Chain A
Amino acid sequence: MAKMTMVQAINLALRQEMEKDDRVIVLGEDVGRDGGVFRVTDGLIDKFGENRSVDTPLAESAIVGMSIGMAVYGLRPVCEIQFSGFSYLAFHQIECHAARLRMRSQGVCEVPMVVRAPCGGGVRALEHHSESRETYYAHTPGLKMVIPSGPRNARALLVSAIRDPDPVIFFEPKATYRAFREEVPEEEETLPLGKSVKVQEGKDLTIISYGAMMRPTLEAVEALKEDDGVEAEVIDLLTLSPLDHDLFSESVKKTGRAVIVHEAPRSFGPGAEIISRIMEKAFFYLEAPIARVTGFDVHIPLFSREMAYLPGKNRIVRAAREILNA
């Protein structure tokens, strides 16, 4: 096993899938010679040539639209949108076609494609480069919406996404790209889409999060343990849609308390849906109101203020204490 960053782990997933399957084509702006602006596709063009690692003109709608055509033709395109904040230019291709062609053709056309896009804040970027609008995609029937939280699960989830028969929107938290390393096995490893994981056992409350917010969540859990002697159970969603409500509902039945952490804006955000599912599945087990620690309902501010916007350890700890004392 080698210690890898998330960038290296995603690169490994792409490289191995491209080796195994000549239907897998990587395409997007700057993904070829430049290896992607975050170097996620670094070296693929040297190994596989410009027909497998394809530099495209600068047009998000056609990148996704062309990928749809490639997928219907029988290829497995993995297209990159350079930042998720530019994915809106391709939104209609994703919503009107990638998500719907299976239904429209009654199963004749499948669209097995992956749209990769770096998401989230925390890297002192320009406007449009720090967005967390996963709800747009999680809200769209026919799509799968996946957000890994670390190198190892990013690699395993991307392999599953590439092999999945349905279109997958794969958001990569860019704050996590190089933040830490994990052991990533060379041999094949996959994680099922639509399944969450329990990262830590606990009995006092359940914290549900995903993506880049898993790090402040785990820091908060550590602080709660040391300072308050509280044992929190932690769920990493990994897939937002289809949402795995069984794992967190069972956990809440055990702990009776829940905090949800995401950097996406609060209103109509993932937390709203998660709370609804808890109300449907575990309402009578609740000991306290459910808390949300989220981004605010503003555009993520320019970077001088972005840390005030992003949920951090202290906000999560305070929210947990509030419901523990309720």
Chain B
Amino acid sequence: MPRKKIELPCAVDYLSILNEKGELDKELEPDISEEVLLKLHRFMVLGRKFDDQLLNLQRQGRMGTFAPISGQEAAQLGAVSLLRPTDWFVPSFRETGAELWRGRSLESVILVFAGYAEGALVGKANGEEQEPMNNMPVSIPVGSQIPHAVGIGWGIKYREKDDVVMAFFGDGATSEGDFHEGLNFAGVYQCPVVFVCQNNHWAISVPREKQTRSKTLAQKALAYDVPGIQVDGNDVLAVYAAAQEAVERARSGDGPSMIECVTYRMKMHTTADDPKRYRKEEEVEKWKKHDPISRFQKYLVNKDLLSDKKIGDLENEIQEEIRSAVKRAEETMKDFTDPLQMFDHIYRERPPYLEEQRKALAEETEMTKDEEKGE
């Protein structure tokens, strides 16, 4: 009856391929087609520019609260780009870049942030006809979408399909029970799920080191016998390489994985938040040097896929695309005036008492209109 050590597989790899100077580890460089490299770059720039434009709209009172993604473009696009249309994308609320990649339109994002539920279904990405994709809507309660990804993964396995699920969440979510319950269930049932943690260092005002004493977030997966890896989340090549490995593992029936993308939230938690209350400007300045877009651009310029002129042209094109989407969204909004919309999609069929309430609001609305006319 000795006391002895139980050997556990508990190493967490750290992966970085392209550093902030644009220097590359050739050995580790993933094989990505030119088309996908340029598409990744385009969506990273689109995500950043869209953030800026949404912030302007919000500050002008033309839109409500939203969660900016700036700084996290590589972490989300590097991962989501591995999915096929039939795979399942399960976002939290800070994955606008990944959502656009998955076919959500700019207008749809604007309309929902402007307070219109029906905006969820408006428009097509870049106006293109696309294959329908399996996307879950945004989930706001932190970490609560993680068990859904496991249930979808369970279904895929039950139906013997080779699709995979990719679930996104942040560093704060790793303190939530649903994260631990979800990873445990995924481990037990060996569900084909890739858990992508965007460790952006801040859960509103609580820094990463106060969120958990664990050295990495990736190691939390190991407790559930789920492989975990930590990557430079501002290095799109590293995120892509890690996601490729995890997606292949899931697709070939070898179960779930977790990827911790170490990145940084360059802006506020949401537009309702003022980060100056809790973090130093120097920290933000330091992270600007690790910017995910500029280093990827250096890489693409070195590969002769981009030039300063091409980048400038692309930026102009994207600005125009966003401007016209804002215009279309603001036009569309004008049709979304019916307050009775709130009674849609509560149940598949509206029960009689809800029909009564809907009718009552309709009458109230008419009376108010008449009274206003009377004045």
Chain A interface residues (CB < 8 Å from chain B): 25, 51, 56-57, 59, 61-62, 64-75, 77, 92-93, 96-97, 101-110, 141-142, 144, 165-166, 194, 242-243, 245-246
CB of B26 closer than 8 Å to a CB of A: no
* Contact assessment for A70 and B347 in the assembled complex, using a CB-CB cutoff below 8 Å: no
* Contact assessment for B158 and A51 in the assembled complex, using a CB-CB cutoff below 8 Å: yes
A68–B182 Cα distance when bound, in Å, is 12
A242–B351 Cα distance when bound, in Å, is 6
Known: A62-B181, A70-B154. A106 touches B148 (CB 8 A): no
Interface residues on B, range: 35 or more
Q: Tell me the residues in window 106-121 of chain B with beta carbons closer than 8 Å to chain A beta carbons.
A: 117-118, 120-121
- Chain A: minimal CB distance from B128 (Å): 19
Partner of A69, one of B155, B181, B352, B354: B155
Known: A73-B156, A242-B351. A68 touches B148 (CB 8 A): yes
Chain A residue with the shortest CB-CB distance to B341: A106
- Chain A: minimal CB distance from B314 (Å): 32
Known: A25-B158, A62-B178, A75-B158. A106 touches B146 (CB 8 A): no
Known: A61-B178, A242-B353. A96 touches B121 (CB 8 A): no
Query: Among the interface residues B144, B146, B147, B151, which one has the most CB atoms of the partner chain A within 10 A?
Result: B151
Task: Kindly list chain B residues whose C-beta atoms are within 8 Å of the C-beta of A51.
Answer: 158
* Contact assessment for A65 and B144 in the assembled complex, using a CB-CB cutoff below 8 Å: yes
A232–B150 Cα distance when bound, in Å, is 51
For the complex with contacts A73-B156, A103-B345, A242-B352, 13 further pairs of A-B residues with Cβ separation under 8 Å are A56-B185, A59-B177, A65-B147, A65-B178, A73-B152, A92-B141, A92-B144, A103-B344, A107-B344, A108-B120, A165-B348, A166-B348, A246-B352
* Contact assessment for A65 and B121 in the assembled complex, using a CB-CB cutoff below 8 Å: no
* Contact assessment for A106 and B348 in the assembled complex, using a CB-CB cutoff below 8 Å: no
* Contact assessment for A142 and B347 in the assembled complex, using a CB-CB cutoff below 8 Å: yes
- Chain A: minimal CB distance from B102 (Å): 13
* Contact assessment for B136 and A57 in the assembled complex, using a CB-CB cutoff below 8 Å: no
Chain A residue with the shortest CB-CB distance to B193: A69
Task: Kindly list chain A residues whose C-beta atoms are within 8 Å of the C-beta of B155.
Answer: 69-70, 73-75
* Contact assessment for B152 and A72 in the assembled complex, using a CB-CB cutoff below 8 Å: yes
Task: Kindly list chain B residues whose C-beta atoms are within 8 Å of the C-beta of A243.
Answer: 353
- Chain B: minimal CB distance from A67 (Å): 6
Chain B interface residues (CB < 8 Å from chain A): 88, 117-118, 120-121, 136-139, 141, 144-156, 158, 177-178, 181-182, 184-185, 188, 344-348, 351-354
Task: Kindly list chain B residues whose C-beta atoms are within 8 Å of the C-beta of A70.
Answer: 151-152, 154-155
A25–B141 Cα distance when bound, in Å, is 27
* Contact assessment for A62 and B117 in the assembled complex, using a CB-CB cutoff below 8 Å: no
* Contact assessment for B347 and A66 in the assembled complex, using a CB-CB cutoff below 8 Å: no
* Contact assessment for B348 and A65 in the assembled complex, using a CB-CB cutoff below 8 Å: no
* Contact assessment for A66 and B177 in the assembled complex, using a CB-CB cutoff below 8 Å: no
* Contact assessment for A62 and B184 in the assembled complex, using a CB-CB cutoff below 8 Å: yes
Query: Among the interface residues B118, B120, B149, B155, which one has the most CB atoms of the partner chain A within 10 A?
Result: B155
* Contact assessment for A110 and B348 in the assembled complex, using a CB-CB cutoff below 8 Å: yes
A97–B88 Cα distance when bound, in Å, is 17
Query: Among the interface residues B144, B148, B351, which one has the most CB atoms of the partner chain A within 10 A?
Result: B148
Partner of A109, one of B136, B182, B185, B351: B136
Partner of A106, one of B118, B152, B158, B184: B118
A97–B142 Cα distance when bound, in Å, is 12
* Contact assessment for B181 and A59 in the assembled complex, using a CB-CB cutoff below 8 Å: yes
* Contact assessment for B156 and A93 in the assembled complex, using a CB-CB cutoff below 8 Å: no
Task: Kindly list chain B residues whose C-beta atoms are within 8 Å of the C-beta of A194.
Answer: 351
Query: Among the interface residues B146, B150, B158, which one has the most CB atoms of the partner chain A within 10 A?
Result: B158
* Contact assessment for A62 and B347 in the assembled complex, using a CB-CB cutoff below 8 Å: no
Task: Kindly list chain B residues whose C-beta atoms are within 8 Å of the C-beta of A107.
Answer: 344-345
Q: Write 13 A-B pairs (CB below 8 A) sorted by A numbering.
A: A57-B188, A59-B184, A62-B150, A66-B147, A66-B185, A68-B148, A69-B153, A70-B155, A71-B151, A77-B151, A102-B347, A103-B117, A110-B348
Which A-B residue pairs are the 10 nearest by beta carbons?
Answer: A69-B151, A65-B147, A73-B155, A242-B351, A62-B181, A69-B148, A66-B151, A59-B181, A70-B151, A69-B152
